[in-house]
Amino acid sequence: MKISIVLGTRPEIIKFSPVIRECERLGLDYFILHTGQHYSYNMDRVFFEQLELPEAKFNLDVGSGSHGEQTGKMLIGIEDVLRREVPDVVLVEGDTNTVLAGALAAVKLGIAVGHVEAGLRSYDREMPEEINRVLADHCSDLLFAPTEKSKGILLGEGISEEKVFVTGNTVVDAVCQNLEIAKRKVSVCEGLGVDDGGYFLATVHRQENVDNEGMFRGILKGLELVREEFGFPVVYPIHPRAEKQLKIFNIEVNGVKIVEPLDYLSFLQLESNARLVLTDSGGVQEEACILGVPCVTLRYNTERSETLDVGANVLAGTDPLEIVKKVGLMLNKKNCWENPFGDGKAGERIVQTLREKFG
């Protein structure tokens, strides 16, 4: 059995890390193909080093561009590698353009596709990610659903049950494994001048939020009001896209501690010690839930509905007063919810399923 792991963004590196470690542990024949969707491989190399992962064998360095241009370049590059390497199965993870390109390139060559984190739905077709995840699910041979709920969604869309495997979410494995590494290597709170449990953490980066001036201003005003209302410092590691839009819209932010983007281990430690998280990131919603940190989502929908079901998360949208209201609600809740994303052995289950299917 030969496995190709196709990734291109930092969240994919994080969520694939448990699968990669399991392949290493078992001495399996596999290789990593990095598309360079968000950053060049050289910029992401620090991620591989921090997480103590082997290097990518191939890197396409596709870079940014329109959705069509980026996906097209990746299709060409991935197809070329797959023709030469001839793996038995291609693994993709999540909902990025890399996922769509990897799945399409493989299926057109008659190579089996395994989609990790299958069955997530926001039911918002204006999100590029929603299109990617739906298309990837419907051309995959193995769908690794994180929860029974996501399995039910797949079955409801007519996907054969024999293709669907409930494994838990690799984010649980990744948080547990990588938090241990973080504790050995970094101490971020001291450097930022905040106390454990004495600050809110904010992340805002999604296209629909930061490219829309009204929504972006609403979120930032909400963060300012949250600081005034509850007295906790609000730490906001700013995404390059958001920083660019701040300048374009000429927005001044007061009362929010904006800091440079953090490496993953520092961010994970900051997240685990926060009093509350405000975010528009799907992955951060999951991580906060797993870490027992209350979450307020700065969106009107989420594909991580399990976090809502267990009471770990609430939707606030982008209205400043609603953001303040939802923060107050979550601060008054006890963070004793049950983690809905599994027991931290998703990576093992995924690799075991591949071994059973492909020998």
Residues noted as catalytic: 205
Burial of 261 (0-12, 13-18, 19+ CB in 10 A): middle
Pair of tokens at residue 70: 């980026």
Q: What would the DSSP string read from start to end of 1-35?
A: -EEEEEE-SHHHHHHHHHHHHHHHHHT-EEEEEE-
What letter represents residue 325's amino acid? Answer: K
Pair of tokens at residue 71: 């996906």
Distance CA 75, CA 335 (A): 43
Cα angle 221-222-227, degrees, rounded to a multiple of 5: 100
Are residues 105 and 126 in contact, defined by beta-carbon separation less than 8 angstroms?
no
What letter represents residue 203's amino acid? Answer: T
Q: Which residue has the tokens 């994080």?
A: 14
Closest CA to 92 of 175, 173, 170: 170
Distance CA 78, CA 60 (A): 8
| Eight-state DSSP code of residue 260 | P
Who contacts 335 (Cβ-Cβ below 8 Å, separation ≥6)?
A: 292, 293, 294, 312
What letter represents residue 231's amino acid? Answer: G
Who contacts 307 (Cβ-Cβ below 8 Å, separation ≥6)?
A: 285, 286, 288, 289, 295, 313, 340
Distance CA 337, CA 349 (A): 24
Distance CA 225, CA 125 (A): 31
Residue 116: strand, helix, or coil: strand
Distance CA 252, CA 333 (A): 32
